[in-house]
Amino acid sequence: MGYWTMWSIDQTWRMPAPIRLRELIRTIRTARTQAEEREMIQKECAAIRSSFREEDNTYRCRNVAKLLYMHMLGYPAHFGQLECLKLIASQKFTDKRIGYLGAMLLLDERQDVHLLMTNCIKNDLNHSTQYVQGLALCTLGCMGSSEMCRDLAGEVEKLLKTSNSYLRKKAALCAVHVIRKVPELMEMFLPATKNLLNEKNHGVLHTSVVLLTEMCERSPDMLAHFRKNEKLVPQLVRILKNLIMSGYSPEHDVSGISDPFLQVRILRLLRILGRNDDDSSEAMNDILAQVATNTETSKNVGNAILYETVLTIMDIKSESGLRVLAINILGRFLLNNDKNIRYVALTSLLKTVQTDHNAVQRHRSTIVDCLKDLDVSIKRRAMELSFALVNGNNVRGMMKELLYFLDSCEPEFKADCASGIFLAAEKYAPSKRWHIDTIMRVLTTAGSYVRDDAVPNLIQLITNSVEMHAYTVQRLYKAILGDYSQQPLVQVASWCIGEYGDLLVSGQCEEEPPIQVTEDEVLDILESVLISNMSASVTRGYALTAIMKLSTRFTCTVNRVKKVVSVYSSSIDVELQQRAVEYNALFKKYDHMRPALLERMPVMEKVTTNGPTEIVQSNGETESAVLETKPPPSGLQPVSQANDLLDLLGGSDLTSVIPTAPTSKPASAGGELLDLLGDLNLTGIPSITAYNKNGLKIDFTFERSNTNPSVTVITIQASNSTELDMTDFVFQAAVPKTFQLQLLSPSSSVIPAFNSGTITQVIKVLNPQKQQLRMRIKLTYNHKGSAVQDLAEVNNFPPQSWQ
Amino acid sequence: MRFMLLFSRQGKLRLQKWYLATADRDKKKMVRELMQVVLARKPKMCSFLEWRDLKVVYKRYASLYFCCAIEGQDNELITLELIHRYVELLDKYFGSVCELDIIFNFEKAYFILDEFVMGGEIQDTSKKSVLKAIEQADLLQEVRHPQTHLWSPQNTPMETP
């Protein structure tokens, strides 16, 4: 019994001593269910609450510690917040330690309570024991609110000037936090930074570099100050050099490298100092080269330094040799076994591929190999980088790899990959056949992942590849014969079958052996699409319209089409119903218009100026626009006077149609056009000089179509009588609203001097209302080293050109 | 660094240090989400991933995942070294550290972290220096129960409540 009496001397009569922290942890871990754990926690919380109520100083620390444990498990602990403050105010170090920890875990600036800490922290910042000061600095530096920072900044600044390196390093990071919370206070820390880098202590050096980095990043004035007045760059270079050259220092060594953390921070600060500043960049050139070549690369730590070095080299104004060195480091990273290094290399290369394109190209094959990596993030980067590297020279090889990737990659990539392939193919396709094949390949392998907006673009592409129509429709037909579940594929295929179904049944394919297919078989597949549950509403719309179009292209199955159309005029799907009803009407009341309405779509020219298309607004009644045509998804041309190139050229011979000259080879386009327009009416319409100023003369010659009276074809010829070439020449034109305009590729973008050559360009104007032709033109070019721009109106069109 | 998390393979949180003021509810949500993402990673994947607008660096040591969320301009590779340094500190302090040490002595894990990193940045790059500071601070901890030294050596001066 004596045992118990002695034990209870210091205890309150009412409560037994609260259980120890580790005892509680042990107990809670024995709980077999969530419910059991909750019960234990509740019981203990109740005990703790009572203990708090009794203002027990002895066990407050223990209780708060337990509360912190329970908080980590996810249970509420807000009732302990004030207790933390009491612990902080205590004189006992143990109390303070737990109290400050509790404050950092349970309190934040959202609670008003936290402000009560301010006074305690202030006192502790001036405590006689540096570890107490350290606690205060740490807490302030981790979670101090703006008000607290404002109140205590002075104390921090004082400590920043102390000779005690333990406190100095902490004060520096605390200052960083203060500046982040209250940027206006940055100035007051400036004097204290003067000697920071003279320290030998690595802790102080590291945190000082962090502080200087924060200041330079936040304030351009500070940045300028540190560059010029403090000569920060030479100081940093010196420290970095010492780190590299000095022998083994056991205290800071990591795998043979001296203080890699400090090296990395210095390199980052150098980056900020060297950015957009030639002098600073030059001053750090040598040390960067030294680090880049001498750092040991066998372990992660060395590569971490190299990585930071590369980032710095690429961001400052480094000389080209250094940049190439950096990119080669990244190239070597790509070959590293460590996937983390490969990841980091790909990320960095992605950032530099635009500015240092050629250097990155050299590592193309390694990058392409990364497409086969197992890590998803690496694959994604490799894919993005691969697309950035595709050009006219490597497009065949690259596309092969990317198509293979499309086949085998995870679903999350397929949409982006498909879009990327379409884009690259459009820019760099070496031939039409290749282009169509590539599109086909994407549609058949990733057909359901292709983006909806790709469908109209693909249709336009196909339309413009006139000589490939038969091949394309055949391939598409075969593709959906087996499987018509991939919506984008089915939509494109339906549209093409509707347009070119006649080529399909007449077996006109030249690129591969033509298949034998009857009109009924074609209609079978379209009807299957129409009926199928897998078909989206949009897809059904495509199919129905295609069936309708075939009524003018097929000869034996018109009645079948009529039947289908009449069935769907009572479809539940409103879209389908509306179409079917209108098509029905076409059969019944407007049958004479049917052939014209369902005519073959013309080649749709994209506006191919060398520069961005612009809308030239006139201030007045007419609003003009430079037209960029896009195919309407329904595929019907509402006006019967189609801009039909075939008619324009006096024949329906497919091979004589002008191909859209891609902008990469403009030189031949003008010439071809002039030849092909041979059978147009050239005589009788006088040419005009539309523009003549500053040595630039632009003449217009006119041709009218024999078959289409609303179309006028204008050929412009631009010549240069000055003694210097005019380069990057861009001609843009706008016409009043009732007109339509099409601009084809110019012959080139350079008008040579002394009238020794011209640029020709063709404009087609559609003028259905036979209004007087007016035009506004905009000319931009470079001449004698400066950019020239001019706007003009052309009003002297001869009446024969539009009447 | 925005925050650091330590959690087990079963998704139990062992330590959370936040360097940016965040509401408790948001913290819980982020922790839950990130744990799910990291625990779903396969061994062959790299230690970095993109999550929300941050970069996450994680590494598994035995049964514990060490997870740091860093910002765009921060160096992922050196963050791996930071994580490793912290593990080394714990290891030196506890003597061959294991998850149980961190469970039962979580407050010490925090003390060590707070001596190594402040406001998301490294305070001292010397292992020796950090460990010495912890050691000295531990010595300052008062004996808890005055009566116990009357008769039981079971409470050493180093023991926290």
Q: How many CB atoms lie within 10 A of CB A796?
A: 11
> Would the CB atoms of A300 and B146 count as touching at under 8 Å?
no
Distances (CA, A) of A159 to A127, A134, A214, A306: 12, 11, 18, 35
> Would the CB atoms of B142 and A93 count as touching at under 8 Å?
yes
> For position A671, what pLDDT does the model report?
35
State pLDDT tens for residues A273-283.
Answer: 999 999 999 99
Residue B72 domain-assigned (yes or no): yes
**Backbone dihedral region for residue A148 (phi beyond 0: left; psi -120 to 50: alpha; all else: beta):** alpha
The mean pLDDT of A522-537, rounded to a whole number, is 89
- What is the rounded CA–CA span in Å between residue A521 and residue A600? 21
> For position A606, what pLDDT does the model report?
61
> For position A684, what pLDDT does the model report?
66
Q: What is the 3-state secondary structure (H, E, C) of A484-523?
A: CCCHHHHHHHHHHHHHHHHHHHCCCCCCCCCCCCCHHHHH
pTM of the model: 0.71
> For position A368, what pLDDT does the model report?
93
Minimal C-alpha gap between A447 and chain B (Å):
28
Question: What is the residue-wise DSSP string for B45-98?
Answer: S-SEEEETTEEEEEEEETTEEEEEEE-TTS-HHHHHHHHHHHHHHHHHHHTS--
Find the CATH number of the domain harbouring B48: 3.30.450.60
State pLDDT tens for residues A660-718.
Answer: 333 333 333 333 333 333 344 445 688 888 999 988 999 998 888 766 778 888 889 89
> For position A770, what pLDDT does the model report?
83
Contact with chain A for residue B36, Cβ under 8 A: no
pLDDT bucket at B115, cuts 50 / 70 / 90? very high
> Would the CB atoms of A97 and B129 count as touching at under 8 Å?
no
pLDDT bucket at A248, cuts 50 / 70 / 90? confident
State pLDDT tens for residues A203-212.
Answer: 999 999 999 9
The mean pLDDT of A29-55, rounded to a whole number, is 92
- For residue B137, the chain A residues in CB contact (below 8 A) are 93, 97, 131, 134
Tokens for A739, please give them.
Answer: 């007109």
Chain A interface, best mutation among B84, B112, B125, by max A CB count within 10 A:
B125
Name the helix (H) or strand (E) containing A424: helix A411-428
Percentages helix, strand, coil for chain A (3-state, rounded to 5) are 60, 10, 35
State pLDDT tens for residues A446-459.
Answer: 888 888 888 888 88
Higher pLDDT, B43 or A3: B43
Minimal C-alpha gap between A32 and chain B (Å):
15
Residue B133 domain-assigned (yes or no): yes
Going by C-alpha positions, the residue among A791, A780, A665, A666 that lies closest to residue A730 is A780
Residue B63 domain-assigned (yes or no): yes
- What is the rounded CA–CA span in Å between residue A647 and residue A658? 12
State pLDDT tens for residues A372-394.
Answer: 988 888 999 999 999 999 998 99
- What is the rounded CA–CA span in Å between residue B87 and residue B116? 11
Minimal C-alpha gap between A75 and chain B (Å):
11
The mean pLDDT of A28-51, rounded to a whole number, is 93
Task: Quote the domain boundaries for residue B122.
Answer: 3-144
State pLDDT tens for residues A49-97.
Answer: 999 998 888 899 999 999 999 999 999 998 999 999 999 999 999 999 9
Contact with chain A for residue B135, Cβ under 8 A: no
The mean pLDDT of A737-751, rounded to a whole number, is 85
Higher pLDDT, A680 or B143: B143
Q: Provide the percentage of residues in chain A whose pLDDT is more than 70.
A: 88
Residue B153 domain-assigned (yes or no): no
pLDDT bucket at B136, cuts 50 / 70 / 90? very high
Tokens for A131, please give them.
Answer: 């570890």
Residue B130 domain-assigned (yes or no): yes
Contact with chain A for residue B152, Cβ under 8 A: no
Residue A630 has pLDDT above 80, yes or no: no
pLDDT bucket at A2, cuts 50 / 70 / 90? very low
Q: What length does chain A have?
A: 803
- As a whole number of Å, the end-to-end CA separation of chain B is 31
> Would the CB atoms of B82 and A300 count as touching at under 8 Å?
no
Range with top average pLDDT, A109-118, A536-545, B78-87: B78-87
Supply the mean pLDDT for chain B: 88
The mean pLDDT of B10-14, rounded to a whole number, is 94
> For position A6, what pLDDT does the model report?
46
> Would the CB atoms of A97 and B123 count as touching at under 8 Å?
no
Range with top average pLDDT, A140-144, A462-466, A604-608, B109-113: B109-113
The mean pLDDT of A240-252, rounded to a whole number, is 89
Domain total for chain B? 1
Residue A651 has pLDDT above 60, yes or no: no
Query: 3-state DSSP call for residue A410?
Result: coil
The ipTM, to two decimals, is 0.90
> Would the CB atoms of A307 and B77 count as touching at under 8 Å?
yes
> Would you say A240 and A267 are in contact if contact means Cβ atoms under 8 Å apart?
yes
Q: What length does chain B have?
A: 161
Lowest mean pLDDT among A396-400, A554-558, B32-36: A554-558
> For position A110, what pLDDT does the model report?
76
What letter would DSSP give residue A136?
H
Range with top average pLDDT, A112-116, A405-409, A685-689: A405-409
Q: How many CB atoms lie within 10 A of CB A56?
A: 16
Query: 3-state DSSP call for residue A554?
Result: coil
Contact with chain A for residue B144, Cβ under 8 A: yes
Residue B49 domain-assigned (yes or no): yes
The mean pLDDT of A495-514, rounded to a whole number, is 87
pLDDT bucket at A259, cuts 50 / 70 / 90? very high
Distances (CA, A) of A547 to A528, A541, A699: 11, 10, 47
- For residue A143, the chain B residues in CB contact (below 8 A) are 21
> Would you say A732 and A752 are in contact if contact means Cβ atoms under 8 Å apart?
no
Query: 3-state DSSP call for residue A536?
Result: coil
Query: 3-state DSSP call for residue B6?
Result: strand
> For position B153, what pLDDT does the model report?
41
Tokens 């079978």 belong to A524
Apex CA A324: angle with CA A318 and CA A330, to 5°?
Answer: 110
Higher pLDDT, A573 or B5: B5
State pLDDT tens for residues A289-310.
Answer: 999 999 988 899 999 999 999 9
Alpha carbon A423 to chain centroid distance?
14
Residue B136 domain-assigned (yes or no): yes
Minimal C-alpha gap between A505 and chain B (Å):
52
Lowest mean pLDDT among A361-365, A505-509, A603-607, A755-759: A603-607
Query: 3-state DSSP call for residue A366?
Result: helix
The mean pLDDT of A516-520, rounded to a whole number, is 88
> For position A13, what pLDDT does the model report?
55
Partner A, chain B 63-82, Cβ-Cβ below 8 Å: 73, 75-78, 80-82
The mean pLDDT of A333-337, rounded to a whole number, is 92
Supply the mean pLDDT for chain A: 84
Nearest to B118 among A92, A131, A170 (CB): A170
Chain B interface, best mutation among A84, A133, A300, A336, by max B CB count within 10 A:
A300
Residue B152 domain-assigned (yes or no): no
- For residue A110, the chain B residues in CB contact (below 8 A) are 21, 23
> Would the CB atoms of B118 and A264 count as touching at under 8 Å?
no
Apex CA A754: angle with CA A748 and CA A757, to 5°?
Answer: 30
The mean pLDDT of A633-662, rounded to a whole number, is 34
Lowest mean pLDDT among A63-72, A589-598, A668-677, A727-736: A668-677
> For position A3, what pLDDT does the model report?
45
pLDDT bucket at A623, cuts 50 / 70 / 90? very low
Going by C-alpha positions, the residue among A179, A181, A191 that lies closest to residue A147 is A181
